[in-house]
Copies of this chain bind each other. A is one copy, B any other.
Amino acid sequence: MPIHVPGVRLGVAQAGIKNPGKDDLVLIELAPQSAVAGVFTQNAFCAAPVQVARTHLQQTGGAIRYWLINTGNANAGTGDQGVQAAQRSCVDLARCVDTSEQAVMPFSTGVIGEPLPIDMLSGSLPEAVEDLNEYGWERAASAILTTDTLPKLASRQVEIGGRVVTLSGMTKGAGMICPNMATMLGYVATDAVIAAPLLQALIQSAVDASFNRITIDGDTSTNDAVVIGATGVSGVVITEEEPDQFLVFDTALKDLCLELAQAIVRDGEGATKFVEIQVSGGGTCAECDQVAYTIAHSPLVKTALFASDPNWGRILAAIGRADLDGLDVNGVTVSINGVLIADRGSRAASYTEEQGVAAMAPADLMLQIDLGRGEASSVVWTTDFSYDYVKINAEYRT
C-alpha cells in the first residue's frame, strides 16, 4: 500500500486511446513551489513528449506543476506532428488548471509510430482534473501499464531532524527495457524541500544505481523517463550542508528506486526468473559491466535460464566474447546460487551436475563471476527468455 505524499494529487481518466473503458490518462499535480528533476532516454529517436518534457523542465528551472501521462500510444517516430501534439496537450491542460504550458511535462507509452489522438486526450483532461486526490497512487500506477502484469509502487518514510519525510514512487515497463539514463516511466515524489539542482543530482545518482542497471531485452526505449518532484510540504530541508540528513534521504531514495527497478525486472515480459549478475575481480567497473551485460543479453544464456539448465558453458562463452583486452580465462570463476561451477576457466573439480540442477531450480538466481584480475565490480539485474517472451512480442500489435 503506497503512502501518499503531502502536496501530491493524482487523477485518472479514460480517454479511449488504449481501449474503450480502460484507464489510460494519468495526471499528477505537485503543490506550488515544488522542485522537479528528471533523467531521459539517450535513444536518438527520443519520443516527442520526451523532447517537450525536457524543454519545459529546462525552461522553468524545475518549477513544474503537472505530469501528464497517456498509455496506448508512445507518440514516438511521429516527427514534427508528434511534437505539436505533445505541445498541444500541455496547452490544453494549462488552460484547464490555469497554469503556464511550460509548467506541464507530457509522457507517453504504447505503440511507436502512430499519430497521437490528441483530441481524445484533450477531451478527457477535465475528467482527470476532476479526479485529482492525494490517494490516487494505486489507480494511477495501474493506469500507466502496457504489457506489465502488475502495478509497481514503493514508499519509504525516514525521520530527518525529528520530522517524518515521505518518498513514494511508481513505475511501469516490461519490455524494451535496457535503460540508458532512465527507464520508461518512473515517478517519484517526496515532501522534502530540495532545490532543483540538488534534486537533479540526487535522482541521477539513484537512477544510475537502479534503473540504469536493469535489462530485459537490451532494447533501450524511445520514451524512457524517470522524474522526481519535491513538494516541500513537510518543511524538512535537504542540503549538502547537512551531510547526515542528506545521507538519510539519499539512501532512502536509492533504496526506493532500486525496489521499483527490480519490480520491472520481476514483471519482465514472459519472465520466469529474476537474475542478479555480480561481476567482481575486474580491472575497471566498465569491463565488469561489459561482462555482466554480455551475459544478460545472451539469448543462449537466457534460454538456458528459462530451462533451469546449468549450461555454464554458455556463460563462459559469453564472458569470452565480451571483448576484454587480454583476458586470462584461467583466472575466471563462476558460481550459481553459491555453487562453484567453473574454476580457473574449466569445470570445478568439486562440481556435480546434480549440484548445478539444484542451484538453478529457484526463481531467484545469483550468478557470480570473478574475473581474477583486479578489484572493480558491478551488478546487473535481468530475466530469462521464455516462450511467453516471443508470444508477447510477436502478438503485441495484433
Residues of A near any B CB (own CB < 8 A): 42-46, 74, 76-79, 81-82, 111-113, 175-176, 178, 180, 217-222, 297-300, 303-304, 306-307, 309, 311-314, 316-322, 324, 327, 329-330, 342, 344-347, 385-387, 389-391, 393-398
Residues in chain B near residue A297, CB distance under 8 A: 218, 297
CB distance from A60 to the nearest CB of B (A): 26
Task: List the number of copies, as a whole number.
Answer: 2
Residues in B whose Cβ lies below 8 Å from that of A312? 77, 113
What's the minimum C-beta distance from A73 to chain B, rounded to whole angstroms? 11
Q: Are A304 and B82 in contact (CB under 8 A)?
A: no
Which residue from chain B places its CB closest to the CB of A307 in the assembled complex? Answer: B394
A112 nearest in chain B by CB position: B313
A299 pairs with B389, CB closer than 8 A? yes
- Report the Cα distance A180→B322, complex, angstroms: 12
Q: List the B side residues contacting A218 at CB < 8 Å.
A: 297-299
Nearest first, the 10 closest Cβ-Cβ pairs linking A and B are A112-B313, A45-B320, A79-B346, A303-B393, A307-B394, A220-B321, A113-B313, A43-B320, A44-B320, A217-B299
- Which B residue sits closest to A43, measured CB to CB? B320
Partner of A386, one of B219, B220, B390: B390
- Specify which chain B residues have a CB less than 8 angstroms from the CB of A321 in the assembled complex: 42-44, 178, 180, 219-220
CB pair A219 B320 closer than 8 Å: no
Known contacts A304-B393, A321-B43; A219 and B298 CB within 8 A of each other:
yes
Query: Which residues of B have CB within 8 Å of A78?
Result: 346-347
**Given A217-B300, A320-B222, residue A76 in contact with residue B313 (CB < 8 A):** yes
B82 touches A346 (CB 8 A): yes
Do most interface residues of chain A lie in helix, strand or loop, or is the interface mixed?
loop
* Chain B contacts for A112, CB-based, 8 A: 311, 313-314, 316-317
Q: Which residue of B lies closest to A319 (CB)?
A: B45
| Contact (Cβ within 8 A) B77 A313 | yes
| A299 smallest CB distance to B (angstroms) | 4
Report chain B residues within 8 Å CB of A77. 312-313, 316, 342, 345-347
CA A397 to CA B74, docked complex, whole Å: 41
- The CA of A218 and the CA of B387, in the complex, are separated in Å by 19
A307 engages B113 (CB within 8 Å): no
Q: A219-B300, A393-B303 are in contact. Are A45 and B385 (CB under 8 A)?
A: no
In the bound assembly, the distance between CA atoms of A111 and B175 in angstroms comes to 31
Q: A79-B344, A307-B395, A396-B311 are in contact. Are A222 and B300 (CB under 8 A)?
A: no
Question: A397 — which chain B residues lie within 8 A by C-beta?
Answer: 309, 311
Chain B's closest residue to A393 (CB) is B303
Question: How many whole Å from A306's CB to the nearest CB in chain B?
Answer: 5
Contact B345 A385 (CB under 8 A): no
Q: Separation in Å of the A392 CB from the closest CB of chain B?
A: 8
Known contacts A306-B394, A393-B304; A329/B44 CB under 8 A = yes
Q: Kindly state the separation between the CA atoms of A387 and B311 in the bound complex, as whole angstroms.
A: 20
Query: Measured between C-beta atoms, what is the minimum distance from A367 to chain B in Å?
Result: 15
Alpha-carbon separation in the docked complex, A111 to B304 (Å): 13
Q: Which of B111, B309, B324, B346 contacts A394 (CB 8 A)?
A: B309
**Which residues of chain B come closer than 8 Å to A390, judged between CB atoms?**
303, 306, 385-387, 389-390
A50 to chain B, nearest CB (A): 11
> Is B391 in contact with A387, judged by CB distance below 8 angstroms?
yes
Taking the closest CB of chain B, its distance from the CB of A275, in whole angstroms, is 15
